[in-house]
């Protein structure tokens, strides 16, 4: 009986003290990423519901704000050209976010993280080159600049995440996440200007 108690004490005492803190840190980071994704999805759902309510209304309600002016032909051409690039940017952004999340949840290792992030970084670089070939009208020059800023932020986030694959330090993900979040917010603002009613944030 005494030997059983002693062995139980040894087993309990031998558990590493730092594992609980490490697991808690991983859960906090993973939780923050999930919450950020849920917030973005919630915004998209709210916008979609608002559009549905407006369409279903029997009588038009007076608008408090003046109607958005229609895009000029030059603006429309730019918006359509950027849209063809935007799909690749969104796909790469998804890959970047979920690669980090999979790594934090221990569903992938550093090698897989590096492979996925490098692929996303390549997509961002190609998208940047394509965006730079566009000639926006002067009215959309700020939108053009903001889109490039968003792509740069995604590239910086990818570079930071690649450091995890190199040295295994997960704190790089904490640095990379706000960059991706800021980039997503810039894309949302761009969409509100040139893809109203058509663009849903992701």
- pLDDT tens for each residue of 116-166: 999 999 999 999 999 999 999 999 999 999 999 999 999 999 999 999 888
CA separation, residue 147 to residues 116, 118, 179, 181 (Å): 23, 21, 14, 14
| pLDDT tens per residue, range 9-56 | 333 444 444 555 556 666 666 666 655 555 554 445 445 545 445 444
Of 192, 153, 196, 195, the C-alpha closest to 175 is 153
User: pTM of whole model > 0.75?
Assistant: no
Residues 157, 161, 163, 169: what is their CA dihedral angle, to the nearest 10 degrees?
A: 130
pLDDT given for residue 5 in this prediction:
44
Indicate the DSSP class of residue 37: H
**Conformational region of residue 109, where left means phi above 0, alpha means psi within -120 to 50, and beta covers everything else:** beta
């Amino acid at each position: 009986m005494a030997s059983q108690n002693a062995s139980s004490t040894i087993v309990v005492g031998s558990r590493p003290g730092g594992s609980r803190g490490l697991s808690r840190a991983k859960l906090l980071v993973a939780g923050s990423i999930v919450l950020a994704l849920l917030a973005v999805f919630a915004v998209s759902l709210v916008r979609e519901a608002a559009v549905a309510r407006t369409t279903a209304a029997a009588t038009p309600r007076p608008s408090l704000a003046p109607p958005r002016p229609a895009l000029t032909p030059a603006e429309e051409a730019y918006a359509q050209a950027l849209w063809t690039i935007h799909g690749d940017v969104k796909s790469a952004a998804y890959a970047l976010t979920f690669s980090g999340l999979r790594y934090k949840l221990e569903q992938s290792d550093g090698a897989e993280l590096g492979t996925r992030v490098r692929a996303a970084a390549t997509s961002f670089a190609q998208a940047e080159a394509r965006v730079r070939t566009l000639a926006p009208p002067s009215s959309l020059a700020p939108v053009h600049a903001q889109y490039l800023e968003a792509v740069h932020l995604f590239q910086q986030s990818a570079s930071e995440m690649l450091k995890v694959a190199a040295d295994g330090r997960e704190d790089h993900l904490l640095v990379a996440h706000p960059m991706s979040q800021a980039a997503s917010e810039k894309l949302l603002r761009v969409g509100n200007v040139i893809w109203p009613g058509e663009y849903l944030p992701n």
